[in-house]
């Protein structure tokens, strides 16, 4: 039966905190710079900290959270991780940390950095914003390092690269893989949707793969429930609700509407599913994947 509680238990699988005034780790696109297709009408905030985030998700019952690195200068990844850890001590909620680093570093440096990062018990894995060749021996070695440490790989791949990522990751059945932002679709036309769906089917065929229902504001540039539902429903059909999880992508997706609007879209999507399925989408999948 459809479920529509007043305040949904929520584990946010994808959020960013930053303070560019204190930490010059980020280089974000500006309005008018559409090289990333974000369609920004105003700049990202200089800072987005815990109390601001809590206001953004006040319509749900936030119980746990996953911080995902947004670094554009990956050599600062350990400093960012330490900063997030210092914030997390005061949030009174369990959290997981997805970091980053330069994937082209020598394997010995990657391995040493992973072990240092894992000194934080909340550290759960990595994402790479570029530079990874899924067909290389180097990538295979990195993925082996992650899987042997029970770490998660958050995959950043858009249409045209999803299938390549799936082919490379198929060699690593023990690695938990999460595809970010429903595969970063580039457009919402039917032709693009069909191409995206075919690649997503390949990724969903990996039994160790999961999908974040997040980030579509970056494509649509507004909280549009009809478009979001078209993509999200297809992901749920391909992966199953037990392998899908909602993520806010705040503060980036706050560029396209407020937090209450996005949570209402999530609720609308979940309302078409059973109570168990809705609980997976809002919380339980993320809890399992990130061991929260």
Residue 188 resides in a domain: yes
Antiparallel, parallel or unpaired: β 61-68 and 152-155? unpaired
The single residue listed with the structure tokens 């970010």 is 180
Specify the pLDDT at position 53. 98
**Residue 184 sits in which domain range?**
9-289
**Taking 90 as the threshold, does the pLDDT of residue 131 lie above it?**
no
What is the rounded CA–CA span in Å between residue 43 and residue 35?
Answer: 14
Angle at 206 between CA 209 and CA 11, to 5 degrees: 15
Count of domains in the chain?
Answer: 1
Give Cβ neighbours of residue 37 (< 8 Å, ≥ 6 apart). Answer: 186, 218, 219
- Using one digit for the tens of pLDDT, what is the confidence trace for 20-49? 999 988 888 889 887 778 889 899 999 999
Query: What is the average per-residue pLDDT within 152-177?
Result: 97
Burial of 230 (0-12, 13-18, 19+ CB in 10 A): middle
Specify the pLDDT at position 4. 42
- Using one digit for the tens of pLDDT, what is the confidence trace for 239-265? 999 999 999 999 999 999 999 999 999
Structure tokens at 272: 């078409």
Neighbours of 273 (CB within 10 A): 18
Specify the pLDDT at position 130. 83
What is the rounded CA–CA span in Å between residue 188 and residue 229?
Answer: 12
Structure tokens at 92: 């009174």
Among residues 94, 100, 95, 103, the alpha carbon closest in space to that of 134 is found at 103
Helices 137-148 & 107-117, crossing angle to 10 degrees? 20
| Mean residue pLDDT across the chain | 94
Query: What is the average per-residue pLDDT within 118-122?
Result: 98
Residue 248 resides in a domain: yes
Residue 152 resides in a domain: yes
- Contact predicate 178/152, CB 8 Å: yes
Antiparallel, parallel or unpaired: β 47-48 and 18-19? antiparallel
Which H or E run includes 262?
helix 259-270
Residue 3 resides in a domain: no
The SS3 of residue 1 is: coil
Helices (H), 43-91: 50-56, 77-88
Specify the pLDDT at position 6. 67
Question: CATH number, domain at 58?
Answer: 3.20.20.140
**Taking 80 as the threshold, does the pLDDT of residue 18 lie above it?**
yes
Query: What is the average per-residue pLDDT within 260-284?
Result: 97
Residue 34 resides in a domain: yes
Q: Return the percent helix, strand and coil in the chain, to nearest 5.
A: 45, 15, 40
Structure tokens at 93: 């909620």
In order of 48, 145, 262, the CA distances from 57 in angstroms are 13, 35, 9
**Taking 50 as the threshold, does the pLDDT of residue 3 lie above it?**
no
- Using one digit for the tens of pLDDT, what is the confidence trace for 180-232? 999 999 899 999 999 999 999 999 999 999 999 999 999 999 999 999 999 99
């Amino acid at each position: 039966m459809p479920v529509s509680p007043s305040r949904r238990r929520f584990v946010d699988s994808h959020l960013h905190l930053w303070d560019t005034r204190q930490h010059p780790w980020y280089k974000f696109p500006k309005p008018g710079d559409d090289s990333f297709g974000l369609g920004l009408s105003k700049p990202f905030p200089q800072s987005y900290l815990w109390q601001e985030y809590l206001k953004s998700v006040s319509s749900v019952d936030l119980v746990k959270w996953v911080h995902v690195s947004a670094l554009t200068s990956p050599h600062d990844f350990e400093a960012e991780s330490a900063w997030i850890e210092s914030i997390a001590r005061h949030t009174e909620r369990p959290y997981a940390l997805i970091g980053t680093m330069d994937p082209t570093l020598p394997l010995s440096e990657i391995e040493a950095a992973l072990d240092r990062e894992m000194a934080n018990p909340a550290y759960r894995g990595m994402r790479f914003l570029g530079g990874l060749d899924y067909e290389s021996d180097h990538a295979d070695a990195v993925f082996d390092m992650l899987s042997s440490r029970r770490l998660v790989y958050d995959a950043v791949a858009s249409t045209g690269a999803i299938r390549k990522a799936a082919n490379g990751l198929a060699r690593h059945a023990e690695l938990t893989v999460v595809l970010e932002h429903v595969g970063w679709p580039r457009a919402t036309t039917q032709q693009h949707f069909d191409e995206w769906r075919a690649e997503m089917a390949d990724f969903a065929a990996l039994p160790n793969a999961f999908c974040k229902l997040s980030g579509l504001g970056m494509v649509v540039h507004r909280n549009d429930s009809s478009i979001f539902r078209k993509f999200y429903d297809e992901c749920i059909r391909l992966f199953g609700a037990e392998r899908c999880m909602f993520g806010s992508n705040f503060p980036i997706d706050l560029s396209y509407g407020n937090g209450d609007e996005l949570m209402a879209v999530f609720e609308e999507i979940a309302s078409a599913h059973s109570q168990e399925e809705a609980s997976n989408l809002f919380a339980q999948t993320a809890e399992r994947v990130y061991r929260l």
